[in-house]
Structure 1
């Protein structure tokens, strides 16, 4: 189940929050591979270090996760951590990690979260893919500069938030107030056991006015009706509604995806919002021009029986998207290749910002 390789670090290529990118040469094969290490888990690799690698992602040709992953520096193990956390993530795997949850008893936030039970109407934008995050933020901040935005990452994609250069750059640019990793994901500014306490932590600990929920990079799909990690979008609607928040559904829309099931409105959105979400959300339909816009609007029409379907104009959003501090990319397609995808996410951000008004 794991393709193991022994290797040597040749160079450190670049770094971002929680992550070091390396060039590694395997032994005895002599192959040079791109690799990632998370120093909080394995220590900080340096040129000349021996590293133990997991090369599954490279062997599978994964676009998002096309790296070997450093499992250990066997000749230079890091010191034992010294902190009071006892929340275990990636539980009962050989690399289970212990973190301190915002909601656990030893946390300084435990008293605040122990009785917390409401999001106080906070808008929560829910997206299928991680690539929607910067587009949502761009529109929110264009409409309402200075809005305090938090990101809650579920565990449908990457487990370590450190893998996301997007989240790191948005935080560095001041576009994100902070992040919370929930379920089996980890590496956020705050950790939480469930999506529910993660949302409450975003609101009451980070002080967010608006929160975005999505899985991390590298979602999983199988081409079946139910076998995709994005079903969590519907579950997120239920969680937000249960906590007295305002769920805002961002649609996964594409005019360029070669797969018919994702062209127009993706079946991921139609299934998650149409079948999984039991509570009502504001589903944002971007007011796209021409026959494609009609196709998108027609696809969402059956969801009116459960949700509030709202049309949002997209004028000016393209300029806002071009000002993003990160490269916009979804499934290898940039803003110009799949404009409709990013406009749909941005429209949800514009609508959520309008819900805040002047408060």
Structure 2
């Protein structure tokens, strides 16, 4: 189940909030490793580290790192302060965090009786790669305009909605793994990250997706929430065996809390797998079978035969949901100005444009709900 190695840190490659990327010497040679300092301390060149090399040996794309499990000769200090939520429970690296909804939290009184997110639009997507594309569409000026601000430029006060990213535990558990989240937080494209379930490392921790959405609204003051897995979704090629079924559950959670669920379709023109070509079977199953509450499913107005294919496939969702046709004019230009790299399944913006346009269209529609 786990491939263990002992190694020596050779150098620090780069770092971002919550994570440090390293070159480590192991018996087989050199490998790329990732450490989360809040869990294991900050490894330095010359340190001995214990590694889990399973994902690296399997050649996983998103998770293709050796993971630092411990720096045995220089352990971090014991945690101090409140925090009774245990996440990654009953694993060797279970960690305690202060949950917004627990009794010792300063937000407990607010969340204790909170039962509504006050009509807040909640954009739901399958993959983590949808997050920056949704934001590009959300921050584009008007329905067919150009981006309201240049990448990294802050809009005038009140000129841009506050957006929270609510991260369930279907993909990566540590929010720190996402370089996109770190950069989007740095630029104030996100007002905060809420980690729910077994996921951890956000600005706000919550027990469930429901309290995560409530925290996004009442703790972070979000105008819009985006719910999508962390990096590294799991799929098996079966109808039900994929972690993206959580997208349907997110629609239900948003609806039961009085939000307005906006479903972003997972669309691809570049995926060679038939089950993901056009509208992915992940979207058709999650929204068509798992989501029991109605949502506004955004149908991007894509050109040509491919656009007609997407429209035809999406009709299956009209039984329960409202299909909202959204033009994509100007969204390519908005996506090109994304402050973080756009990539899905190894494909960039121009390699799978339809994928990013569909997510950006969902963001554009969410913005229209705020007016």
Is the pair's TM-score, using the shorter chain for normalization, greater than 0.5?
Answer: yes
Question: How far does residue 265 in structure 1 lie from its aligned partner after superposition?
Answer: 0.2
Q: Alpha carbon RMSD of aligned pairs, Å?
A: 0.7
* Partner residue, 2:265: 251
Is 2:24 the counterpart of 1:5? no
Deviations along 1:118-170, one digit per CA (max 9) or x if unpaired, are 01000000000000000000111113751101000010000000000011111
Deviates more, 1:48-57 or 1:140-149: 140-149
* Partner residue, 1:163: 177
Q: How many residues align?
A: 355
Question: How far does residue 173 in structure 1 lie from its aligned partner after superposition?
Answer: 1.5
Question: How far does residue 102 in structure 1 lie from its aligned partner after superposition?
Answer: 0.3
Deviations along 1:74-109, one digit per CA (max 9) or x if unpaired, are 011111000210000000011101100000000000
In structure 2, what is the Cα distance between the partners aligned to 1:31 and 1:118?
54
* Partner residue, 1:60: 58
What aligned pairs does 1:74-89 form with structure 2 within 5 A after superposition? Answer: 74-89=72-87
Deviates more, 1:138-147 or 1:148-157: 138-147
User: What runs of 5+ residues in structure 2 fail to find an aligned partner?
Assistant: 143-158
* Partner residue, 1:135: 133
What aligned pairs does 1:307-326 form with structure 2 within 5 A after superposition? Answer: 307-326=321-340
In structure 1, what is the Cα distance between the partners aligned to 2:50 and 2:281?
40
The SS at the match of 2:55 is helix
- Relative to the length of structure 2, the TM-score reads 0.95
Question: How far does residue 305 in structure 1 lie from its aligned partner after superposition?
Answer: 1.2
* Partner residue, 2:16: 16
Runs of 4 or more off by more than 3 Å in structure 1? none
* Partner residue, 2:232: 218
What aligned pairs does 1:137-152 form with structure 2 within 5 A after superposition? Answer: 137-143=135-141, 145-152=159-166
* Partner residue, 2:30: 32
What aligned pairs does 1:147-296 form with structure 2 within 5 A after superposition? Answer: 147-296=161-310
Deviations along 1:305-329, one digit per CA (max 9) or x if unpaired, are 1001110000000000011100100
In structure 2, what is the Cα distance between the partners aligned to 1:342 and 1:125?
14
Question: How far does residue 30 in structure 1 lie from its aligned partner after superposition?
Answer: 4.9
In structure 2, what is the Cα distance between the partners aligned to 1:43 and 1:68?
16
The SS at the match of 1:143 is coil
Is 2:348 the counterpart of 1:351? no
In structure 2, what is the Cα distance between the partners aligned to 1:143 and 1:278?
33
User: What runs of 5+ residues in structure 1 fail to find an aligned partner?
Assistant: none
In structure 2, what is the Cα distance between the partners aligned to 1:83 and 1:236?
32
The SS at the match of 2:324 is strand
* Partner residue, 2:107: 109
- Any conservation in 2 of the 1:143–1:353 contact (CA below 8 Å)? no
In structure 2, what is the Cα distance between the partners aligned to 1:83 and 1:226?
41
In structure 2, what is the Cα distance between the partners aligned to 1:344 and 1:140?
12
In structure 2, what is the Cα distance between the partners aligned to 1:55 and 1:5?
7
